[in-house]
Structure 1
Amino acid sequence: MADKVTFWFDTTCPFCWITSRWIKEVEKVRDIEVQWVPMSLSVLNDGRDLPADYLERMKSAWGPARVFAAVATDHADKLGDLYTAMGTRIHNDGRGATDGSYNEIIAEALEEVGLDAPLLEVADSTKWDDALRAFHQTAMDEVGDEVGTPVVKLGDTAFFGPVLTRIPRGEEAGELFDASFKLASYPHFFEIKRSRTESPEFN
């Protein structure tokens, strides 16, 4: 029987991207079933007193998150592919928001995965904000409010993280997953944390 993984993501977060690519590697070497669910750093930080440059990044991040909320509702089977298409452009290709918007990247990613171009209009509309907040809240219900992205549920237990700076490949990815799943199965385990001393790499 496949191990179940629920992965809540914000496509703009580099650490979330690395963890998601680890899970994609695990899919190659372990029997797992992954459900992708949008969450949002923009929702998480809404109303918080944060540095001005970070607030600007959060304004830009609303667009992709809104699109993912719409896709998760109406085209859930495309969600993982769209995340890969958009995340590859943002992280591997080093493309950020242009003039405060990810719309160019969103349009390219929608076309790549065969989704209708009108979904791009969602990025600049509040129509799907309630749905986005609801998806986001499912992550908070699992782990509490004092977290970031990603939130990963391994079996019956969810955590913030794991936070990685490199992408484990092949059997190493599988072994790390085995260890993480085993740790998650212990009902009295809650967290491991240390300060990061290096930046993420996506190769």
Structure 2
Amino acid sequence: MTHTVTFWFDSVCPFCWQTSRWIKEVEKVREIQVEWVPMSLAVLNDGRDLPADYLAGMEAAWGPARVAAAIKQDYPEKVGEYYDALGTKIHTEGNGAKTGHGAYGELISAALDEIGLPVSLAEVAESTEADDALRGYHASAIEAVGDDVGTPVIKLGDTAFFGPVITRVPEGEEAGELFDAAVRLAAYPYFFELKRSRTEAPQV
């Protein structure tokens, strides 16, 4: 049986990155079909009264998400590759937590070049031309799961959840078993959430 997974992501979120790497492991051991869709922490927090340092991080987050939205519109088959390439540069290679407009510009350009897309797409990061599309993709995540969430949002079949939030990435059959458990919970229409306090940051 092939499971359909919709994965809404923000490239700059370290927790989202860990969950996405789990899904990549699941692809090796289960029959799944994944659609990668951008969402945006910058959109989620737009207009909120937040600490200045967090807002500076949200300024930086617009760029990667805008480019993801433009790719989803024009090169939908490349969205996952863009996330893989940019996320590796941000998280695995230790270039995250940037602040201010344009902070991820060089990484975006490098990621586009790596996956064979026009580097000129990086210009979208500092314009508003993809904002309507980005807000639409983001809204589709919120519509699926509700508004008390962050990233990632994952839809398993007909049911969407925020998370799972993991700090370490299971591999092999363990990844598959975690996926099986998530699918089973999603199949029960009256299940809503599990939560506990985190005791560590993502271990990339």
Q: Assess same fold via TM > 0.5.
A: yes
- Could you say which residue in structure 2 is the equivalent of 1:57? 57
- Could you say which residue in structure 2 is the equivalent of 1:72? 72
Q: How does 1:1-203 map to 2 (within 5 A)?
A: 1-96=1-96, 97=98, 100=101, 101-202=103-204
Partner of 1:193, secondary structure, is coil
Taking the aligned partners of 2:148 and 2:64, their CA distance within structure 1 comes to 22
Taking the aligned partners of 1:126 and 1:199, their CA distance within structure 2 comes to 32
Taking the aligned partners of 2:202 and 2:119, their CA distance within structure 1 comes to 32
Paired amino acid for 1:80: G
- Deviation (angstroms), 1:98: 7.3
Taking the aligned partners of 2:30 and 2:120, their CA distance within structure 1 comes to 37
Q: Which runs of 4+ in 1 moved over 2 A?
A: 96-100
- Deviation (angstroms), 1:99: 6.3
Structure 1 gaps of 5+ residues are none
Partner of 2:164, secondary structure, is coil
Does the C-alpha gap of structure 1 residues 55 and 98 become closer, same or farther in structure 2, counting only changes over 3 Å?
closer
Deviations 1:143-173 (A, max 9, x none): 1111000000011100000000000101100
Identical residues among aligned pairs (%): 66
Partner of 1:5, secondary structure, is strand
Deviations 1:162-190 (A, max 9, x none): 00000010110000000110111000000
Taking the aligned partners of 2:99 and 2:77, their CA distance within structure 1 comes to 28
Instruction: Report how many aligned residue pairs link the two structures.
Output: 202
Structure-1-length-normalised TM-score: 0.98
Partner of 2:151, secondary structure, is coil
Paired amino acid for 2:202: P
Does the C-alpha gap of structure 1 residues 184 and 99 become closer, same or farther in structure 2, counting only changes over 3 Å?
closer
Structure-2-length-normalised TM-score: 0.97
Paired amino acid for 1:201: Q
Query: Aligned Cα RMSD in Å?
Result: 0.9
